[in-house]
Copies of this chain bind each other. A is one copy, B any other.
Amino acid sequence: MSTSRRVTLFDIADALGISTGTVHRALHDHPGVNPMTRMRVLQVSKNMGYRPNVAARLLSQNKQFRVSVNTLKGTTSFWDEVRGGILEEAQARGTHEADIEFRTFPGLGEGEEEAFEATIAAESDGIILFPSRPGSMRTWMRRASRSKIPIVCVSTDAPHSNRLAAVSVDTMASGSLAADLMGRFLNRRGKVAVTLSVLAISEHAEKLTAFEKTVRTLHPEITLLDPIEDHDVESEAYDKCRELFAAHPDLAGIYVTTEASMPVIQAAKDAQLLERLTIIATDLFPALIEQIRAGKVSATIYQRPRTQGRLAFRVLQEFLVNGRYPALPVKLAPHLVMAGNLDFFLEKQASDSSNVSAASDLPSDLTYNNDD
């Protein structure tokens, strides 16, 4: 019961006295099979416990994919990490190595459509993209979907765009964790504000919703102020925070749901508020690391960009190779980084990214990489 050889197409064909070609067509719903034979094939293959040999399939298909990765230019480390994760996964999954073409655009909405146009022109087989303006990309993306090009969104979803999948952090978990922590750090009382880029992006709205709901449920004595929209403009974030601090000099805490925590910190500093403000930020980059280490930022919700990249590629490849649709929008549990675990966190990150470059050695083909 355990040494038995694996069931192959041939075994099924043999059992039924037909050919492997027919069995194959039957199993894959290809046209031109007698419904009667089809049923029998399905029946027998189930009984025999047939499971296709993936290696053989890959080998015989022998396809090569061209995938385009359209993301923001890597000013911050976030997108560098995402791209790193994509490459990493592409190498780890060795077979079917994809031609990956990176196209970057400078800012939110800037050059995004041009990059997309170029992608279409290049006849990519699949696209991984950051929809910086989900609204305006929607029509483009639907066009692509009409020409059957699968699209995977990273970091932000583009609803109603027919994308194949979206990979992002679990926004509800992020917002609610931030809320509970904030309540605890503040001993369950005080005024708290939230900043985000725009409410129109559902990820940001969700973080806010989850934050508000959790605060109200778990820490009802906390007062929530109206959310601040910075439209991803640093100066706007700064100015609005100054206004906020002026209006509420007794503000106790602020949750920054985006990467834009530096302007907030600067504003707090300039308003002489930094020392007694509890800040919970998002993501991790050198300037923020300093602030955490210095105790100015209490915690940050790390969105695991590298893992996002890896999963985005995996989902896309799974679709291109096996035609498999991802179960759900893929949601990653965020990691919490505080002064306490900061160093261990950075250490692990460093070792993760290092073993990628080494992969281009000799007959070494796959690199071993762990999950986070």
Contacts and interface: CB of A to CB of B under 8 A. Distances in A.
Contact of A363 (B27, B58, B185): B27
A94 B372 contact: no
A192 to B, nearest CB: 14
A344 B97 CA distance: 35
A263 to B, nearest CB: 25
A74 B6 CA distance: 30
A341 B180 CA distance: 8
B362 A46 contact: yes
A318 B369 CA distance: 10
A129 to B, nearest CB: 19
A311 B177 CA distance: 26
Nearest to A187: B187
A348 to B, nearest CB: 6
Nearest to A94: B54
B28 A341 contact: no
Contacts of A201: none
Interface stretch (A154-162, A241-249, A328-336): A328-336
Interface stretch (A75-83, A103-111, A144-152, A319-327): A319-327
Copies in the assembly, this chain: 2
Contacts of A2: 66, 99, 101
A170 interface: yes
Contacts of A183: 340
A184 interface: yes
A176 interface: yes
A45 B318 CA distance: 29
A115 interface: no
B348 A331 contact: yes
B184 A184 contact: yes
Contacts of A362: 27, 42, 45-46
Contacts of A42: 362
A-B residue pairs, 7 tightest by C-beta: A180-B340, A55-B58, A173-B344, A54-B94, A177-B341, A55-B59, A176-B340
26 contacts: A6-B97, A27-B362, A52-B365, A53-B94, A54-B366, A55-B58, A172-B344, A173-B341, A176-B340, A176-B341, A177-B338, A177-B341, A180-B338, A183-B340, A184-B185, A311-B371, A315-B368, A318-B366, A324-B364, A326-B368, A327-B355, A332-B370, A332-B371, A333-B345, A336-B336, A371-B372
Interface of A: 2, 6, 27-28, 42, 45-46, 50-59, 64, 66, 94-97, 99, 101, 170, 172-173, 176-181, 183-185, 187, 210, 214, 218, 298, 307, 310-311, 314-315, 318, 322, 324, 326-328, 330-333, 335-336, 338-341, 343-345, 348, 351, 355, 362-366, 368, 370-372
